A = this chain, B = another copy of it.
Amino acid sequence: MIQHPNFSTKEWSIFEEIFQPDILAQTESIFALSNGHIGLRGNLDEGEPHGLPGSYLNSVYEQYPIPYGESAYGNPEAGQTIINVTNGKLIRLTVEDEPFDIRYGTIHSHTRELDLRNGILNRRVHWTSPAGQTIKVTSTRLVSFSQRAIAAICYEVEPIDMPMRFVLQSELVANEELLPQSKDPRSSRGIATKLLSEEHQAQETRGLLIHRTSTSGLRIGAGMDHTIEGPSSMKIDADSSPDIARMTVTAQVKPGEKIRLVKFIAYGWSSLRSRPAIHDQVIAALSAALMTGWNGLLSEQRSYLDTFWSQADVELEGDPQIQQAVRFALFHVLQASARAERRPIPAKGLTGPGYDGHTFWDTEIFVLPVLTLTNPSAVADALYWRYSILEQAKERAQQIGLQGAAFPWRTIAGEECSGYWPASVAAFHINADIAYAVVHYIGATGDLEFEEKIGLPLLIETARLWYSLGYEDNAGHFRIDGVTGPDEYSALVDNNSYTNLMAQLNLRSAAEVASRHAQAAKQLQVHDEEIANWLRAAERMFLPYDAERKITPQDETFLEHEIWDFEQTREDQYPLFLHFHYAHLYRKQVVKQADLVLAMQLFSDAFSAEQKARNFEYYEALTVRDSSLSASTQAVLAAEVGQLQLAYDYLGEAAFMDLYNLEHNTQDGLHMASLAGSWTALVEGLGGLRWQDGSLSFMPRLPEKITSLAFRLLFKKCRIRVEIRDTEATYSLLEGESIKVLHHGEEIVLSSDAPITRSIPSINARPKPIQPARREPLRRNPGKMPMQQKSGPLYDKQSVESIDKEGIVPTID
């Protein structure tokens, strides 16, 4: 997107100066609007051309049978996939006899801008139809943070030079056609879903459609109402059929006049409520929105975001692209979570159908840590969702022969939806990942009510899982065998270091919280002996170490395996999983994504500084980053061990994952974890943020290109600002009474008195680690755009060709 020379780098927006039809699906993801409840892809108002039309409601899914080449006990039989619900965005325009379609006629200008402070998507078009009518169209779209069920569009069209007849058709459309299915396993399965009509109506400015899903038993209502300004002669009609509700405005408009249509869209859905109840719910939401009005919605939106940015903003000097990218990232992380309210935060948010709209472990390990320190109530909600599917997780544990709860690797509604168990069922760490998020949310907020009602049962049931999964061997080690860690290029290994450290935390935290809430724990059948067992298992947790090589193995036998032949692997053979069999990948030392390095990020105290440096160097040489869940982690550890240029490079990869479409699948939706990772790379990487004994600790250090970095955090009812410059860091308390933090190990107590400044000690870094051949991180030159991309062309090949055809030459630096 912004890699195009026509894009501008703006601090507070993503601005597309020239319309690029070839990357439309990608920009639809980038320009998606969401509040965590409703998600609307950045499809054009008039519906066509489109990359992938998409309107989503959190947790509205369809079921499909999961097939297997060979059946086996315990394989999930039904999957869940996010579905494209009724499209409320559609506003078609006819200019005289000609549909407004930018594939025809002449575009004088076409800009789109995602405004990160106002939470709106602006579009301005200046266009002459094939028949010679020139018009200007302006639309502003929002999905309301303040009114969960509401989206709205302000659409204006005016004639230039001559009077002309406009027909506007504002619609709700169900059962839109989707593009054929991609073969990439990361995309959605695009099953042919069919929403079944239950009610349709349209009257005056209002329309409504109610549908239900075929197999998952959900009922969906979509409604619209409008306020319209225009010539007094304009005429308004309405009509509906089972899949369409339509309001039509017809007017003869003179130059200087315009039509201004504000469309209010409301959604409601339920698995329980009746058709009349859904009907009323939608109409009620519309009434509230109409009363608020367009300007009211705009101002509520701004106000919501002002609060967010006051808690979460990150400011940079020296690198405007990263500045833009990290705000873009935080905005989308907010969009995915703001009003999810006890529903999941999917891997792609509600920006596209990628990964079937499933939620995975990266929500807890990549997304929630950011929100924990910037918007913690969203974390409570996300973990409440985990709590709401605890019964399914307990049933699943029982089904696979374990105690406690086994959370699904991928799901929408709580049931395991994974069709390949070595990379899902075996990735038991998801359970400890949830526990990790619980522990840190509690640590950051001191939310004792949450701890007792939500945290306690989650910690207990996951601790029970670990205790039944592992066992104490004759040597007195608590071993956890046959699991898959974060690195998906290994599977079914014994004693994955990450998993064992996480399980240890999980067991200890469960014991601690159960002791703190003895009465509540007792009601969950926790007895002293069980707590003692957890503590003993945690104490004796087997943490492999290779004393000869002085390296922490990713898993017990990882270091014994052959090292992947990187020299012989061609650039076009990445990502490896699309070109090599798992039998090949699993038996070699090759790392898809940070695993032991992630363990070193999350358990900083479990490794000495020297050990971290050695391990980092070792795994750098093996890590190919075929996952978007790696660069940010590598950035964090690179910064810690003093590899600041490398940290800067990885920061860029994380930050530009979607803006530059580095994984070539942004069209299916944005990578929430990688977006969150750009914050992590900055705050935990360059800012050196860690948790230490319940406090926040900072070990800030900036790379050459970034002259200043400032970020804000919420922690224990305090709002903190940290500003880092070349040689010093300044800590301010923006809100709250006082708080202790650590600066490079030194304790500082912040109060409202005055900011505290400390100098940054130097670090003796080891030589720059090497990466696998052809997998070095992208090296950016922040003065120039776009950056050099090492793995594959900067544009998708097809995009380049399309652009070439149209005479626009992409600049690859």
Measuring CB to CB, which residues of chain A are less than 8 angstroms from any residue of chain B?
66-76, 79, 183, 185, 399-402, 418-422, 425-426, 471, 473, 479, 481-483, 491-492, 494, 556-557, 560-562, 577-584, 586-588
Give 14 A-B contacts (CB < 8 Å), ordered by A residue.
A68-B419, A69-B75, A71-B183, A72-B185, A72-B582, A74-B582, A74-B583, A401-B584, A425-B581, A471-B562, A473-B560, A479-B560, A482-B583, A494-B560
Chain B nearest CB, measured from A564 CB (Å): 10
Smallest Cβ distance from A757 to chain B, in angstroms?
A: 50
Which one of B67, B482, B491, B580 contacts A401 once the chains associate, using CB atoms below 8 Å? B580
* A422 and B422 within 8 A (CB): yes
Closest 8 CB pairs of A and B: A69-B419, A482-B587, A67-B67, A74-B581, A471-B562, A400-B581, A70-B420, A481-B587
> Shortest Cβ distance from A616 into chain B, in angstroms?
22
* B residues near A557, Cβ cutoff 8 Å: 481, 494, 556-557
A69 touches B418 (CB 8 A): yes
What is the total number of copies of this protein in its complex? 2
A61 to B531 alpha-carbon distance, docked (Å): 59
Q: Which residue of B lies closest to A420 (CB)?
A: B70
Question: Which secondary structure dominates where chain A touches chain B?
Answer: loop
B471 touches A581 (CB 8 A): no
Known: A68-B68, A422-B422. A73 touches B494 (CB 8 A): no
In the complex, the answer to whether B586 meets A492 with C-beta atoms within 8 Å is: yes
A72–B587 CB distance below 8 A: no
Q: What is the bound-complex CA distance between A582 and B584, given in angstroms?
A: 21
Contact B419–A579 (Cβ < 8 Å): no
Q: Is the CB of A69 within 8 A of B580?
A: no
By beta carbon, the residue of chain B nearest A470 is B562
Q: Say yes or no: B418 contacts A577, CB within 8 Å.
A: no
**Pick from B185, B400, B402, B492: contact of A492, CB under 8 Å:** B492
| A481 partner, pick from B425, B494, B560, B577, beta carbons under 8 A | B560
Name, among A401, A425, A583, the residue most crowded by chain B CB atoms within 10 Å (CB to CB).
Answer: A583
A192 to chain B, nearest CB (A): 16
Residue pair B471, A185 in contact (C-beta under 8 Å): no
Once the chains bind, are A69 and B482 in contact (CB under 8 Å)?
no
A69, A400, A425, A578, most chain B CB atoms within 10 A? A69
User: Is B400 within 8 A of A70, CB to CB?
Assistant: no
Q: CA A425 – CA B562 in complex, angstroms? A: 19
Smallest Cβ-Cβ distance to A472: which chain B residue: B562
- Complex: A402 Cα to B584 Cα, angstroms: 8
- The verdict on A400 contacting B562 (CB below 8 Å), with A69-B68, A72-B420, A556-B557 known, is no
Check if B70 sits within 8 Å of A481, measured CB to CB: no
A70 to B581 CA separation, bound complex (whole angstroms): 14
User: Who on chain B is nearest to A480 by CB?
Assistant: B587
B-chain residues with CB within 8 Å of residue A74 when the two chains form the complex: 580-583
CB neighbours (8 Å) of A418 from chain B are 69-70
In the complex, the answer to whether A400 meets B584 with C-beta atoms within 8 Å is: yes
Closest to A410 in B: B70
Chain B residue nearest in CB terms to A67: B67
CA A66 to CA B71, docked complex, whole Å: 11
Per the bound structure, the CA–CA distance linking A482 and B494 in Å amounts to: 12
Known A-B contacts A481-B562, A494-B560, A557-B494; the reply to A69 vs B420 at CB < 8 A is yes
Q: A471-B562, A586-B482 are in contact. Are A401 and B581 (CB under 8 A)?
A: yes
* B70, A69: Cβ atoms closer than 8 Å: no
